[in-house]
């Protein structure tokens, strides 16, 4: 389906459309999910991805196929797909290497060269700005609605999010009548790659910096994926947040990491972390990394984004990313969005989160299923349905 910002000439807010569906592109569940992400959020062509997806068996083949698809899209001047394929080619590359940075920079170059009409300098709705933060900057987009604003939405992603990936979603939220402030925080996008800012469990700090910069009050915060935990933490500490949308129910990073581990392993890890037994944890994970390249990549990416040197430091830091100590301070209207077949976040964690949220002004829980193509992580197969659900919820809470 055509996407709005691929049209040449003046930007038209009324033509935003989204692909919908769930595809089987690859037999490996994680590769398959990320290829669906290429199509649903990064403008990949489903027929092209279907034709090439089966070639991907490891990280080198992932990089090769996505780069080749990007070159083909560039040759036909499909700039949204060219940037999107390249953006996702970087995903499984070894982080913080010259090769990885070059791919990231080229994807951004394509995007910002060919979609200048989206930005305020050429009359578009997006104002691209930088928010100073701890010796670096947080990239921020301020997206304005066509008419009078009904309120302010503060939007951020999660563990591997980039602003450019959310372009359609941000424009759609603005089309719903809201001013949207979207930012890359520590550990994300250019805040990590250009300013060296790594993830902090105190997400209220970057949130506060953005709110201060714009003088924003009475905002609705939306956090996607890992952002579902980060936004809840920020809401507990930041009174300018009045409504919270957690677009992935994730009470703690560590809990999500342990959810699929056998009870014996969980008990050992908890004991070793409490005892600061680095060697035991490194020995255990060395064997896992040797057997499973995807696990090895996950630790490499986590160390880069969280500013840790090994899996022991990462797990210790991950334990601080939890809403449990501050959950009783979350008094806002809250919308939780989950998925029954979430590959990355155990669906059962919703029970823990709902039990923790005892003092919310209101609490709604939505679980779109397979019939709506909403069963995957972040309900990847039906973005428009999710955005409409969110906008309708914000509208209703504003009326209370």
Would the pTM count as exceeding 0.85?
Answer: yes
Q: Are strands 126-133 and 219-224 parallel, antiparallel or unpaired?
A: unpaired
257 vs 368: which has the higher pLDDT = 368
228 and 252 Cβ atoms separated by less than 8 Å: no
> Of all helices (H) and strands (E), which one includes residue 131?
strand 126-133
Any idea what DSSP says for residue 252?
B
Q: For the chain, what percent of residues have pLDDT higher than 90?
A: 87
pLDDT number for residue 290: 66
Best CA proximity match to 298, nearest among 257, 331, 260, 265: 257
Q: In this model, does residue 297 exceed pLDDT 70?
A: yes
Token pair 């936004």: residue: 231
86 and 107 Cβ atoms separated by less than 8 Å: yes
Task: Give the model confidence (pLDDT) of 341-350 as tens digits.
Answer: 999 999 999 9
Task: Give the model confidence (pLDDT) of 134-188 as tens digits.
Answer: 999 999 999 999 999 999 999 999 998 899 999 999 999 999 999 999 999 999 9
């Amino acid at each position: 389906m055509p996407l709005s910002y691929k049209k040449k000439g003046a930007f038209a807010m009324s033509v935003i459309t989204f692909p919908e569906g769930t595809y089987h592109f690859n037999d490996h569940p994680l590769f398959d999910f990320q290829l669906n992400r290429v199509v649903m959020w990064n403008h990949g062509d489903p027929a092209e991805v279907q034709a090439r997806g089966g070639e991907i068996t490891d990280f080198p083949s992932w990089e090769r196929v996505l780069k080749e698809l990007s070159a083909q899209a560039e040759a036909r001047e499909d700039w949204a797909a060219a940037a999107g394929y390249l953006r996702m080619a970087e995903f499984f590359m070894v982080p913080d290497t010259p090769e990885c940075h070059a791919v990231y920079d080229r994807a951004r170059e394509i995007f910002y060269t060919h979609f200048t009409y989206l930005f305020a300098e050429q009359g578009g709705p997006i104002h691209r700005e930088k928010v100073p933060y701890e010796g670096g900057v947080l990239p921020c987009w301020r997206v304005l609605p066509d008419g009078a604003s009904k309120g302010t939405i503060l939007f951020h992603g999660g563990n591997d999010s980039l602003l450019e990936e959310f372009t359609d979603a941000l424009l759609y939220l603005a089309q719903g009548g809201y001013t949207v402030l979207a930012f890359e925080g520590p550990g994300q996008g250019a805040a990590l790659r250009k300013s060296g800012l790594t993830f902090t469990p105190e997400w209220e700090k970057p949130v506060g910096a953005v709110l201060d910069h714009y003088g924003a009050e009475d905002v609705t915060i939306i956090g996607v994926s890992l952002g579902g935990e980060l936004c809840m933490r920020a809401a507990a500490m930041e009174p300018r947040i009045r409504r919270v949308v957690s677009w992935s129910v994730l009470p703690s990073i560590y809990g999500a990491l342990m959810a699929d581990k056998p009870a014996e392993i969980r008990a050992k890890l908890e004991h070793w972390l409490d005892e600061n037994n680095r060697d035991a944890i490194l020995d255990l994970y060395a064997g896992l990394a040797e057997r499973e390249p995807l696990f090895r990549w996950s630790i490499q990416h986590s160390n880069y984004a969280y500013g840790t040197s090994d899996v022991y430091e990462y797990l210790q830091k991950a334990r601080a990313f939890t809403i449990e100590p501050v959950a009783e301070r979350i008094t806002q209207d809250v919308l939780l969005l989950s998925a029954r077949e979430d590959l990355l976040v155990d669906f059962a964690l919703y029970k823990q989160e709902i039990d923790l949220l005892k003092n919310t002004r209101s609490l709604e829980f939505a679980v779109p299923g397979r019939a709506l193509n909403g069963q995957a992580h972040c309900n990847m197969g039906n973005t428009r349905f999710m955005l409409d659900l969110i906008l309708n919820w914000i509208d209703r809470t504003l009326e209370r």
